[in-house]
Amino acid sequence: MRKAIITVAPTGEGAGRKDNPALPVTPREIAQAVYESWQAGASVAHIHVRDDNEKPSMSLEKFSETFHLIREKCDIVINLTTSGDIRAGDEERMAHLLKLRPEIASFDCGTMNWANDDVFMNHPRFLEKLARVMLDCSIKPEVEIFDTGMLTNAQYYIKQNLLQEPVHYQFVMGAAGGIPASIENLTWLVRQLPENATWSAFGVGRHHIPIMAAALLLGGDTRVGFEDNIYYSKGLLAKSNAQLVERAVRLAHEFGRETASPLEVREMFKLRNQEK
């Protein structure tokens, strides 16, 4: 099997400091968490930002500050979210891509009921605009799959030449309103992919470890970090994002897989090279 890519997602939309005091929320804290995770073996960083009140944000200023602070510290591949605030408009969700031109960005391939209390909207018109921006800016989409119908959506955009093969898929499992996190569901998802696709998977919360282990055993990649899971084990808060990365790296090595460096990820995905 090829080398495993470990992505760190240091902060997201959900948990706050009240849930885990180690959660990074400022640009400087996020950049430091990414740096420590890079030292621990992460090769990709999936970035969300927060506003000054620690609320989820799509602030161009916050993304820009965080992006440049990370770049000053290390050569990790930066993957910027396009869904950092469920209330953000279309243009707000793409402005940072046009300004910063990251190597990777998320492409959430459909609309879903989110956490049983809201709607995570990804209208087809928005997805078409987003795909064109990514093509124009040479940004590789990370096609996030929260439920099975999103695979069909991805195939549609491939046929329309809006997603270019080989596509990289990220299976988000166990989010309320999405596909349940089980190894049976993961193996089914993997069987649906085009032959040349690459993929990663993670389980939300208590599903974190079994989905991570299954993904690494099946030849995929995985994502860890406080965006998806703030615990190290049941009832025990994780001390840092780096601690979760260290475990993922150890597990990959136990399964006989080396982990990829940022340079190797750039070569695998044929990413546009960026200077540190």
pLDDT digits (tens, 9 = 90+) for 144-184: 999 999 999 999 999 999 999 999 999 999 999 999 999 99
Closest CA to 61 of 72, 52, 53, 71: 52
Provide the domain limits for residue 60.
6-269
Residue 30 lies in a domain: yes
Q: Is residue 1 part of a domain?
A: no
| Bridge partner residues of 44 (DSSP) | 7, 77
Quote the DSSP letter at residue 1.
-
Is pLDDT at 19 greater than 90 in this prediction? yes
**With contact defined as beta carbons under 8 Å apart, do 101 and 64 qualify?**
no
pLDDT: which is higher, 32 or 85:
32
Instruction: Kindly report the CATH number assigned to the domain that includes residue 64.
Output: 3.20.20.70
pLDDT at res. 116: 82
- Going by pLDDT thresholds of 50, 70 and 90, the confidence category of residue 1 is confident
Instruction: List, in order, residues 6 or more apart from 78 with CB less than 8 Å away.
Output: 44, 45, 47, 67, 70, 71, 102, 103, 104
How far apart CA 236 and CA 177 sit, in angstroms, is 26
Q: Give tens-digit pLDDT for 128-148.
A: 999 999 999 999 999 999 999
Asked if residue 61 is part of any domain, the answer here is: yes
Residue 114: the pLDDT is 86
Q: What pLDDT score was predicted for residue 276?
A: 41
pLDDT value for 274: 54
C-alpha–C-alpha distance, residues 110 and 152, integer Å: 10
Mean pLDDT for 19-40 is: 98
Is pLDDT at 275 greater than 60 in this prediction?
Answer: no
Q: Mean pLDDT lowest for which of 25-34, 36-45, 147-156, 264-273?
A: 264-273
**251 inside domain:** yes
In a domain, 133, yes or no: yes
Look at residue 273 in the predicted model and tell me its pLDDT. Answer: 62
Q: Is residue 276 part of a domain?
A: no
Over residues 11-33, the mean pLDDT reads: 96
State how many domains the chain has.
1
* Cβ atoms within 10 Å of 102's Cβ, excluding its own: 24
How do residues 41-94 score in pLDDT, each as one tens digit?
999 999 999 999 999 999 999 999 999 999 999 999 999 999 999 889 999 999
Segment 235-266, tens digit of pLDDT: 999 999 999 999 999 999 999 999 999 999 99
State pTM to two decimals. 0.96
